[in-house]
Structure 1
Amino acid sequence: MKNLLLFLFLCSFALSTAQENLNYQKPSNEILDLVDAPLAPSVQITDDGKNMLLLYRNQYKSIAELSEQELRLAGLRINPKTNIGSRTNYYNNVELKSIDKGSTTTVKGIPSNARLANFSWSPDQTKIAMTNTTENGVAIWVLDVATATMKQLTAANVNANMRDVINWFKDGDAILVKMLPEDRKPLINAADAVPTGPTISSNDGKKAQNRTYQDLLKNPNDEFNFEQLARASLFKVTMDGTKTEWLPADLYSSISFSPNGEYVMVVSINKPFSYLVTYSRFPSKTTIYNKDGKLVNTVLEVPLIEDLPQGFMATRTGMRNLSWRSDKPASLIYAKALDGGDPANEVDYRDEVFQVEAPFNTEGKSILKTINRFRYILWGNDNMAIAYDYWWNTRNTKTYLFNPSNNNQEAIILADRNYQDVYSDPGSFATKKSEYGTYTLALSGQNGFLLGDGYTKEGQFPFVDKINLETQKKTRIYTSKITGKKERLLDYNVEKDELLVRIESPQEYPNYYFKKLQKRKKATQLTDFENPYKSLQNVHKEVITYKREDGLQLSGTLYLPVGYDKTSKEKMPMILWAYPREFKDKNSASQNTQNPNEFTYPYWGSPIYWVTKGYVVLDDAAFPIIGEADEQPNDTFRSQLVANAKAAIDAVDALGYIDRDRVAVGGHSYGAFMVANLLSHSNLFAAGIARSGAYNRTLTPFGFQSEERNYWEAPEVYYTMSPFMHAEKMKTPLLLVHGKADNNSGTYPMQSERYFNALKGLGATVRLVMFPKESHGYRAKESILHLLWEQDQWLDKYVKNKKD
């Protein structure tokens, strides 16, 4: 123990003596050409199916954009100069397309150097409001669909720091906007502030077991800055730009109009703030106002939530999940726990759901009890609604058909299944716009319609089922059987008998179509996006299945190198990329959810780039970690991890494509954790790439990933699973990559820094690349190009040209 403590002490001071002053590098042209390919626009289609909005953006940010000022407070990342999230994705161009005419119109009046976000359609879908971020602030702009013209509606004094910044009034002639308050005080610069005392936290004996969050408040200065940045005044802004204060300044979180537009539910954040949890668990108040901003009633006040019972299914007591009933003018729905919020308590029903009418000053009437934890309701009519619940510990979910007008009528359970069992997934109910502009069940008489992904043992066949909600009898009215392509069912218009689908293939970029089901006419193509990745369009791609040593069926998507001759049986290097997933049964773990007909899309974190460099790639290889009955998956994490890896390599080796002595393994986040464990506890790989991972589980002592137990309940699990604790076993070259601004729970940058120091101190071959300004996923083009260069250099040296 003394030697271990001495070693850890030395590691904490052991900085690398071989630092490299390296500018951002670029990968080879084969990879660079794929990175520079243009990004197709995002697509939004109006409910009447007549118009399409096309939104264009750059695929990457620049390092200059990521270097703009950023404050990290209470789980938010804010640009205090512009007053919007510092990591917001922006669009820079907008087009409108008439589906009937097939013509595309360039929108007039787009602001120069546009940075557009927070798109919000008016209730009648004739206008779209959005934010535009300038150098000094955020303004509201509005697009008129009929004239395809944009105009600026407000000055650049909008507060988008807490999101939910634009909400339309029912008549579509005005919006409710969060704006900077006139009495905002200057922020405190932490570097210049003189402390007035110590920072003190205390506890009165209650258990407060929370995940290891990042970007938390740390001191009174942070509290002050968070309050100033979160405060906003609510203004009603008409389409001619007239502003009227609707509510005075407060820390407004979410805003929601009732379906008929007569009431507004406003959630605001209160004090005291916390240094343990993010702002979503700060004290809050939920208040109902009428559309003129007059107080109706305060319906809920929630205290600070730091001390929930243990377990993923723990929740607070009292009203929660407040929402408007979508098929009624103004009925408020909420749930409350019947088990005290503690999953350890055994009860017949976990939750009860209530409905409250205006003026929202009573408990309301009970309309449903759920066996598991309540999720949400899809509303149909006075006598018919669909509710969903779930329970993480058993992976169970139930679907209820119930009568919201009569709680004496027993609910019918339409589905009772393991939600990880994709083969049994009945699909999602089709919806339609109600008279209030909200989404409700799409019904034809007593019939509802289910759109399913259609995963089976034989492959994927998306479907539409008609279900009689009186008899529960199902009739399949459509099955996708397109050969060589993948079809995704996006929406079903019951009145028009029209499916909105997206169709793609490995060579064909995803495009949108309308399909008439009964008439069986040829599909109407809505978009015609071309494949920007021509160098990959002829790459061989297939989904392979194979078995683990215990007989468990596994799968992965296999790519062969560009131009590879399968008959040659030339032995190529391979990259295996994966992400472990926990299951409670072998049946679900063995199911195949991969489709060989998916478009081959080389996003920034993908290993697919290397098929252009002579590598075989096994992507998305199945890495299930199973714990059946009372056993937890992590009790045998390491042995299952190695068994998964060995089975994958054996399967591809048996096909004759690879040199099994030249196989690399890579992963991101929990996949990086997987990589470090595999290299420490097996001799299967020539090298590894681990990005943005966590390697010492004792630094996340109150649970991680799907592990509910804390360190003191399962110390051996935490120790056994931590690569840091077994750093002396690392004999394989490992490339560690991390963003210096990682915001993901548990994956602090120091996880990679301390693991690197340990490996370096023990003589391992290891390289650590820390990207400035990058979060858990990487955004700047400079960072991504350099990442690809680093990975290419590492693979070339330690895999393709591996020395014995």
Structure 2
Amino acid sequence: MNRRTKRILTIAGIYLIPALFAFKAVAQDLNGYQKPPKEITSIIENTVNRNIVISGKGKFMAILQEPGYPSIKEISQPLLKLAGLRINATNSSSNGIAKYSSVTLKNIESDKEFPITSLPKDAQVGHLVFSPTENQLAFAVFLDNEVQLWVASTSTGVAQRLTNFPLNDTYGKLMEWAPDGTAILAKFIVDNRKALPEQDFTPDGPIITENLGGKSPARTYQDLLKNQYDELLFDDHLTAQIKMVYLNGQAVNFNRPGIYRNFSFSPDGNMVMVWTVTKPYSYYVPVSRFPYDVEIFDKYGKLTKKLAQVPLADKLPSGFDAVIKGPREFQWRADKPQTYIWVEAQDQGDPSERVSIRDIVYMQNLIGDDKPVKLASCYLRFNDIVWGDDQIAILTERWWKTRAERRVFIKPGNQSYRVNLWDRYYEDAYSDPGQFVTVKNEFNKNVLLLEYNSLKRVTDPSNINIFSISEGASPQGNRPFLLKFNVKTKVTDTLFRSKAPFYERPIYFANQSKLLISRESNIEPTNYYSIDLNRRNQTQLTFFPNPNPELFGVIKKPISYKRADGLNLNAVLYLPKDYQTSQGRLPVLMWAYPREFKTAAAAGQVKGSPYQFTRISWASPIFWVTQGFAVLDNVDMPIVGESNDQPNDTFIEQLKENAQAAINKVNDLGVGDPKKIAVGGHSYGAFMTANLLAHTNLFAAGIARSGAYNRTLTPFGFQAEERTYWESPDVYYKMSPFSYADKIKTPILLIHGEADDNSGTFPVQSERFYSALKGHGATSRFVLLPNEAHSYRAKESVLHMLWEMDNWLKTYVKNKKDGDKQINSSLKK
């Protein structure tokens, strides 16, 4: 073991050892990891998941196979926890990056398919990006000791390592193709990196922070910097050298080493915009709020222009509409060689300020001596812009407080032009036009797909068709569609819409006749098809088998019902294979996650599709349909606060009404035994579960995973709550199940990841809640999963979690007896 590795392991112990002590302090059962019944275990061990990536011009499809669940040994490797990040110090990568165990390339036009070959044994890949010419696929190869830059030929699938320099994938953007496809700009470990001195655990003095006036509200972030040695580690591991790597393997340093958030080629490829993190760092907010410089360099790394020095964002006003003062949101204009834009708040970034204009978007051409021009004024907060050409761009602005959204037709060549195309509330899914269809332009940048008559456009430049793809939410469920929309007349033409008994979703369209879609049904897993819109014929591109054959024949029923106040609610009911009501009522597992709405109309809309294939992940409750349960999943738990009312002012009351309505429905259907219903949820769903057990006697048992139960520990807001504890102390108290631990008499199972990385759900939330429950004699059990984050990853952890849930459900629900207070012998007190 070299000195550097030894140092890293020692440092990692700072984070791991206290957590292990905490685990031993609360653990009650030290028999090791357990497995649930074979039907559940089989699903976890045999599931194969696949994703796809379509090349920019639609010629190729990369089929990506996900690896199975990692082992507990794999996820227990030392991680550095710095400024809100978790870093694998051994190979300089960010923890949680999406990786794949194999890649297959498919030529959509020729239907030829071949695997990527010549990769290192047992390697995993990620960050896949097709070249602008589509003759190469670039990707990162993840090994135990380093991350490598590779490319593969899209005509043969043969891969090769492009350079021997190891990548630095600890933070921010990793790589980008030059627009002409001749090189890749990527981040690498700094040349001749020096080992840090070993940490001296003898303190030099106290750690002091101070606030000399000015409000600095901040939510409860995880994994923040704690001391000067953390700062040294942060600098050491995140500092990267950007290099321009050519396809012949030549690698040339670009600019100086730095901590890079992002970098982006200008459309013509001659300039690069770079975002670089600067000091001072903060111990109270993550790296995403650290100060940074925005600069433009030429493609050889020479500084051309400094655009902004964005300050530390530790004093943002309260509210989800708050932003920093000064310039922000820098980006290139995709349809011009070297024109860029930025946004500046006109309300000092404070949503409580009353102003008519919230943001102004400015634009400047880097070529020549052009002065900045005002491109557009935003009456709400700037959200996004999609470029077309001089005659059209679509700007989106939003205001979280009211859920308002406007999509505005502007003309970059005529800054006074502004026409609202859609003025809506974005929580209203039925009115969502979807995402605008874009295509690659001559610069390999995404621009609006436009359709127009070239001759007529000279005299009538606004007579343009654009396209969008929407989920197609409707009272019949989601029916995705491809829409053509004329921005002048606002006349629409639906070119494609999903039809029963399938759920079909457009995924690629370039205004030829070819449309690529995904298709699935209740009995058919997701596969991909090419459709000729003119001839209306289709070609199946993939033939993926059922990833969960164990669930074949399970009955799936979307159901609708009403709350006592008349609000429409929805859920999905799963019943065991071949079940009939004549066989008797079943025990029920109800699984939900509350959501806030500003209107009852939006809250009552139908979600999802009745024709989607049943997928199951580690977090799903559907496993228990194999154990003789009826499973009520995605149960609507809307919390509505219309007009000036705040949703959380009546959180408990609405939660109770939602739960009662769902129970009434399964009872009315004759499938559920109202005395044998369990409720559960993950994260905010766990919080919901604990509140339902604290305020009702509706359930036989509850399961709460990775939740927060004492809202005073998240005093500057949580979930969709903008008010602070000091502004609304009664709301925080009443919404905290911890406040009512003495009222909980229903058996509750608490599960939490020991290394939870989610804001607000520190493991101490479950530890303290369990102590309160135990202190008041509640039937309860607390399971802490070593080295697991907010989402559980290791196979051993997932199987054990499912075993715990299965035992709890069978003991206190399925096999429940009146007055039963004891858990079975397999679960120790």
Residues 716-755 of structure 1 aligned to structure 2 (within 5 Å): 716-755=730-769
Task: Rate the CA distance shift 1:333–1:565 in 2: closer, same or farther, 3 A.
Answer: same
1:421 aligns with 2:428: yes
Give the stretch that moved more between structures: 772-781 or 172-181. Answer: 172-181
Q: Give the match for residue 69 of structure 1.
A: 78
Give the stretch that moved more between structures: 728-737 or 174-183. Answer: 174-183
Q: Give the match for residue 56 of structure 2.
A: 47
Match of 1:443 among 426, 443, 450: 450
**How far has the Cα of 1:524 moved from its partner?**
1.3
Q: Give the match for residue 658 of structure 1.
A: 672
Q: Give the match for residue 115 of structure 2.
A: 106
1:478 aligns with 2:478: no
Contact kept, 8 Å, 1:511 with 1:528, in 2: the verdict is: yes
Deviations 1:33-70 (A, max 9, x none): 11122313221222343322112221322211111110
Take 1:177 and 1:458, find their aligned partners in 2: how far apart are those partners?
46
**How far has the Cα of 1:115 moved from its partner?**
2.0
Residues 256-405 of structure 1 aligned to structure 2 (within 5 Å): 256-358=264-366, 364-405=372-413
Match of 1:589 among 603, 606, 622: 603
TM-score using structure 1 length: 0.95
Task: Rate the CA distance shift 1:479–1:159 in 2: closer, same or farther, 3 A.
Answer: closer
Take 1:283 and 1:333, find their aligned partners in 2: how far apart are those partners?
20
Take 1:180 and 1:464, find their aligned partners in 2: how far apart are those partners?
44
Q: Give the match for residue 203 of structure 1.
A: 211
**How far has the Cα of 1:339 moved from its partner?**
1.2
Q: Give the match for residue 505 of structure 1.
A: 521
Take 2:476 and 2:181, find their aligned partners in 1: how far apart are those partners?
49
Contact kept, 8 Å, 2:297 with 2:305, in 1: the verdict is: yes
Give the stretch that moved more between structures: 48-57 or 414-423. Answer: 48-57
Take 2:90 and 2:488, find their aligned partners in 1: how far apart are those partners?
57
Take 2:104 and 2:480, find their aligned partners in 1: how far apart are those partners?
31
**How far has the Cα of 1:303 moved from its partner?**
1.4
Q: Give the match for residue 682 of structure 1.
A: 696
Give the stretch that moved more between structures: 154-163 or 321-330. Answer: 154-163
Deviations 1:563-617 (A, max 9, x none): 3123x15111000000000001100000011212111111101010111100001
Take 2:355 and 2:369, find their aligned partners in 1: how far apart are those partners?
29
Match of 2:568 among 544, 549, 553: 553
Take 2:23 and 2:392, find their aligned partners in 1: how far apart are those partners?
66
Task: Rate the CA distance shift 1:783–1:170 in 2: closer, same or farther, 3 A.
Answer: same
**How far has the Cα of 1:754 moved from its partner?**
0.6
Q: Give the match for residue 131 of structure 1.
A: 140
Q: Which amino acid aligns with 1:486?
A: Y
**How far has the Cα of 1:473 moved from its partner?**
2.0
Contact kept, 8 Å, 1:454 with 1:461, in 2: the verdict is: yes
Count of matched residue positions in the alignment of Structure 1 and Structure 2:
787
Contact kept, 8 Å, 2:53 with 2:61, in 1: the verdict is: yes
Q: Give the match for residue 773 of structure 2.
A: 759
Deviations 1:153-197 (A, max 9, x none): 22353211113122222332222221222353424655x533222
**How far has the Cα of 1:22 moved from its partner?**
2.2
Q: Which amino acid aligns with 1:604?
A: W
Contact kept, 8 Å, 2:750 with 2:783, in 1: the verdict is: yes
Q: Which amino acid aligns with 2:523?
A: Q
Task: Rate the CA distance shift 1:598–1:230 in 2: closer, same or farther, 3 A.
Answer: same
Contact kept, 8 Å, 1:134 with 1:156, in 2: the verdict is: no
Q: Give the match for residue 4 of structure 2.
A: none
Q: Which amino acid aligns with 2:617?
A: Y
Take 1:364 and 1:604, find their aligned partners in 2: how far apart are those partners?
52
Q: Which amino acid aligns with 2:64?
A: L
Q: Give the match for residue 455 of structure 1.
A: 473
Q: Give the match for residue 510 of structure 2.
A: 493
Contact kept, 8 Å, 2:310 with 2:328, in 1: the verdict is: no
Contact kept, 8 Å, 1:90 with 1:117, in 2: the verdict is: yes
Contact kept, 8 Å, 1:297 with 1:359, in 2: the verdict is: no
Deviations 1:704-724 (A, max 9, x none): 000000000000000000011
Task: Rate the CA distance shift 1:13–1:791 in 2: closer, same or farther, 3 A.
Answer: closer
Contact kept, 8 Å, 1:576 with 1:665, in 2: the verdict is: yes
Give the stretch that moved more between structures: 91-100 or 555-564. Answer: 91-100
Q: Which amino acid aligns with 2:326?
A: G
Contact kept, 8 Å, 1:297 with 1:361, in 2: the verdict is: no
**How far has the Cα of 1:562 moved from its partner?**
2.4
Task: Rate the CA distance shift 1:361–1:317 in 2: closer, same or farther, 3 A.
Answer: farther
Q: Give the match for residue 823 of structure 2.
A: none
Q: Which amino acid aligns with 1:488?
A: R
1:784 aligns with 2:791: no
Contact kept, 8 Å, 1:25 with 1:786, in 2: the verdict is: yes
Take 1:91 and 1:778, find their aligned partners in 2: how far apart are those partners?
18
Task: Rate the CA distance shift 1:723–1:27 in 2: closer, same or farther, 3 A.
Answer: same
Contact kept, 8 Å, 1:40 with 1:529, in 2: the verdict is: no
Q: Give the match for residue 18 of structure 2.
A: none
Give the stretch that moved more between structures: 181-190 or 53-62. Answer: 181-190
Task: Rate the CA distance shift 1:539–1:365 in 2: closer, same or farther, 3 A.
Answer: same
Take 1:449 and 1:237, find their aligned partners in 2: how far apart are those partners?
36
Q: Give the match for residue 116 of structure 1.
A: 125
**How far has the Cα of 1:764 moved from its partner?**
0.5
Task: Rate the CA distance shift 1:18–1:454 in 2: closer, same or farther, 3 A.
Answer: closer
Q: Give the match for residue 718 of structure 2.
A: 704
Q: Give the match for residue 822 of structure 2.
A: none
**How far has the Cα of 1:360 moved from its partner?**
9.2
Match of 1:186 among 195, 206, 215: 195
Return 5+ residue gaps in structure 2 as ranges.
1-20, 453-463, 819-829
Take 2:261 and 2:603, find their aligned partners in 1: how far apart are those partners?
39
Take 1:734 and 1:373, find their aligned partners in 2: how far apart are those partners?
43
What secondary structure is seen at the aligned counterpart in 1 of 2:384?
Answer: strand
Q: Give the match for residue 8 of structure 1.
A: none
**How far has the Cα of 1:129 moved from its partner?**
1.7
Task: Rate the CA distance shift 1:462–1:210 in 2: closer, same or farther, 3 A.
Answer: same
What secondary structure is seen at the aligned counterpart in 2 of 1:456?
Answer: coil
Take 2:440 and 2:796, find their aligned partners in 1: how far apart are those partners?
44
Task: Rate the CA distance shift 1:457–1:480 in 2: closer, same or farther, 3 A.
Answer: same
Contact kept, 8 Å, 2:774 with 2:780, in 1: the verdict is: yes
Q: Which amino acid aligns with 1:513?
A: Y
Contact kept, 8 Å, 2:165 with 2:189, in 1: the verdict is: no
Take 1:93 and 1:123, find their aligned partners in 2: how far apart are those partners?
23
Task: Rate the CA distance shift 1:458–1:160 in 2: closer, same or farther, 3 A.
Answer: closer
Task: Rate the CA distance shift 1:271–1:14 in 2: closer, same or farther, 3 A.
Answer: closer
1:246 aligns with 2:264: no
Percent identity of equivalent pairs: 45
Q: Give the match for residue 154 of structure 2.
A: 145
Match of 1:516 among 532, 545, 566: 532
Take 1:520 and 1:696, find their aligned partners in 2: how far apart are those partners?
57
Take 2:26 and 2:123, find their aligned partners in 1: how far apart are those partners?
45
Take 2:26 and 2:90, find their aligned partners in 1: how far apart are those partners?
38
**How far has the Cα of 1:743 moved from its partner?**
0.7
What secondary structure is seen at the aligned counterpart in 2 of 1:36?
Answer: helix
